[in-house]
Structure 1
């Protein structure tokens, strides 16, 4: 399955363990957000930053993550990223709002290393299986988020919200241990992530497909992170759910992302053109974000649909990145570009929803940015999904 590097299934296991840590600590915040706001006396807009800040870091840290991969090698860089995730996760709940926000920034930057380098590692080391492995590795992101969403609230009832957030550091330590072998065996050449070639950036910037892939990730991120941040609060406000039931709703939304991510690799290789699949994902998001506020009594339907759609959306974005890249050089550059610009857009989602809802008291008005983003996903998919390779 992997090319002749001697990494084999141990490498795949390490990549999947890294994926578990790239969303979990973000998803863990939402179930205990009312407790955090009550204890730290923070506004809706500030609470939204706890989800927006890591996503903004995904954008701003993307070039640095690519540089770190070139400097250290992919697996050593991923190892460093996991150790920093463990440290930031362990310390962030314990010293007030400023440490919470500062550690959240560090956490986001460390996660960015995995965001940028995982697709490059898969493209480089798994050959013709790269598309399918991308789907499986993306499912690990949803799995980590689902575990955090499902278990943080019960842990908070037992340990308190601070310990319930900090305990997720253990998962990052396990991933770091799994990376030790691949990191030690990796060649010391700095070309693990290829150096920039003359004119390559300009070609990416003039490629409509590269821009459409970037837009798809950005708009998917707007909807996913905003819903992740605010769904429990929204359902408590307008569907009259209890804290426990709102936590179940969020858990369901995250858990169903796992089969959603696995659907994409099963469907995406049925043809060379993936536009129809992308349009279905965009339309599904539009139904969900409309349904949550216009028919909140059907919250179970929207949680189920949204869970499947969000898993499909992130899997589609990263699988299209791999499929449309002509080689590993292009995959590295396109991964950095789409995450720099895409997550810059995505970071606005939780903050905008919190800002509008706090200013107007209306969840309908607060969801308008998500309706626009869902419609934009349909447009982006029509370009990103067409059969065309992005070349250096």
Structure 2
């Protein structure tokens, strides 16, 4: 085997390790703080409003900072941007462990910014380094994200009990730092290999805002995320109101997340093998509708509906995330579509828990909020069906047309980026 082939294989293995570590760090810093909110509130004498802001900040940051990832990546390269994101994440995790409420909030913003950049560039990394394995590696990334979040949530209380809340927060800086150190050599290699080349693909400065398909993907991701975060925030209260003990209601949410772990791998693999993802969209919407209707009409069978809901929510987000790659003809467009979709998506998702909480406060029950979630399944399914058709996002050029391209009409856009092409 030639030396160049060995180097290429080692580089791919290193990139795979970097991808796995990146995915593992994209949820832990968020889910690891929720279980110890009570201790933080007691330590810093936080008001209810401040606690609400603290829980909403990470999701809002995912939306606010997502739009910055594509232009930064175009300027300095994808690998360098991912490395910077992980450094920012590490700094944010460490900062919020300082015994100061200002450090807690500022560190949460920094951690959210780092996660937002990594979230957006994950599909571009997969498209750039593993264009022929989008399904399996997107699935692996989704599974690692879910597992990282679940482990962080499960260990938060034990770590706080044995070592204190500061260690419980700061410990997640270690895997973030390891990921940053892994991506450092990839960033250096990316800089050395970037050579300006003529690009015959769509104008990189053209706007995705003229693409109907891009809007459909963004809306689908946004509504899927809204449903997920609304349920994560309020499902324990909903089940408690239906007569379940608080400990059992909390266990239900944990079981729902555990169910999602294997689906995070399976759904992207299945989705990439299908000519159209519309059947999956329909199945996910129908499963969600059955679970929500069950919670409304037969709450005594709560465990059944929780498991059904786990299948639905555990399939919806991986499907929406996979569409970011499947609807993008190039890694550059994948990054931009991801930035557009996640900016709007997470801003919408951040409003979800607040909206459901306000409805509960006004009506005094959970029937109306659950009915609203059922109603929101209609636009979610519609946008999902539009996003699931086999086509590529085509940025609107200076002519302003913005028409999207059928897959068969643009085979030249799917070629892997030249090794020397500028990352982004």
Q: Which band: TM-score by shorter chain?
A: 0.7 to 0.9
Q: Give the equivalent residue in structure 2 for 1:22.
A: 26
* RMSD of Structure 2 on Structure 1 (CA): 3.0
Question: Counterpart of 2:338 in 1: which secondary structure?
Answer: helix
Aligned match for 2:210, one of 191, 195, 206: 206
Shift of 1:220: 1.0
Bigger Rg over Cα: 2
**1:114-169 Cα deviation digits (max 9, x unpaired):** 11111111111112212332222122211111212222233334344443233222
Q: Give the equivalent residue in structure 2 for 1:113.
A: 117
For the 8 Å contact 2:134–2:272, the answer to whether it is kept is no
Aligned match for 1:302, one of 305, 322, 340: 305
Aligned match for 1:321, one of 324, 327, 330: 324
Instruction: Give the 3 Å change call, closer, same or farther, for CA 106–237 of structure 1 in structure 2.
Output: farther
Q: Give the equivalent residue in structure 1 for 2:155.
A: 151
Question: Counterpart of 1:347 in 2: which secondary structure?
Answer: helix
Question: Counterpart of 1:127 in 2: which secondary structure?
Answer: coil
Q: How many residues align?
A: 386
For the 8 Å contact 1:48–1:229, the answer to whether it is kept is no
Instruction: Give the 3 Å change call, closer, same or farther, for CA 32–359 of structure 1 in structure 2.
Output: farther
**1:352-380 Cα deviation digits (max 9, x unpaired):** 23344355543334445433333322111
Name the TM-score, length of structure 2 as normaliser: 0.81
For the 8 Å contact 2:211–2:394, the answer to whether it is kept is no
For the 8 Å contact 1:62–1:339, the answer to whether it is kept is yes
Output the CA distance in 2 between the equivalents of 1:162 and 1:354. 30
Q: What pairs up with 1:207-226 in 2 under 5 angstroms?
A: 207-226=211-230
Instruction: Give the 3 Å change call, closer, same or farther, for CA 31–370 of structure 1 in structure 2.
Output: farther
Instruction: Give the 3 Å change call, closer, same or farther, for CA 184–323 of structure 1 in structure 2.
Output: same
**1:18-72 Cα deviation digits (max 9, x unpaired):** 11111222222333344445554432x6544334322222222122122222233
Aligned match for 1:164, one of 142, 152, 168: 168
Output the CA distance in 2 between the equivalents of 1:11 and 1:155. 31
Output the CA distance in 1 between the equivalents of 2:252 and 2:76. 41
Output the CA distance in 2 between the equivalents of 1:169 and 1:235. 34
1:175 equivalent in alignment to 2:179: yes
Instruction: Give the 3 Å change call, closer, same or farther, for CA 279–42 of structure 1 in structure 2.
Output: farther
**1:285-310 Cα deviation digits (max 9, x unpaired):** 33344444654443433333333322
Q: What pairs up with 1:1-392 in 2 under 5 angstroms?
A: 7-37=11-41, 40-43=45-48, 46-92=50-96, 94-95=98-99, 97-188=101-192, 189=194, 198=203, 201-202=206-207, 204-243=208-247, 245-292=248-295, 295-358=298-361, 360-392=363-395
For the 8 Å contact 1:28–1:148, the answer to whether it is kept is yes
Shift of 1:385: 0.8
Shift of 1:214: 0.5
Name the TM-score, length of structure 1 as normaliser: 0.86
Higher mean Cα deviation, 220-229 or 291-300? 291-300
Q: Give the equivalent residue in structure 1 for 2:411.
A: none
Question: Counterpart of 2:394 in 1: which secondary structure?
Answer: coil
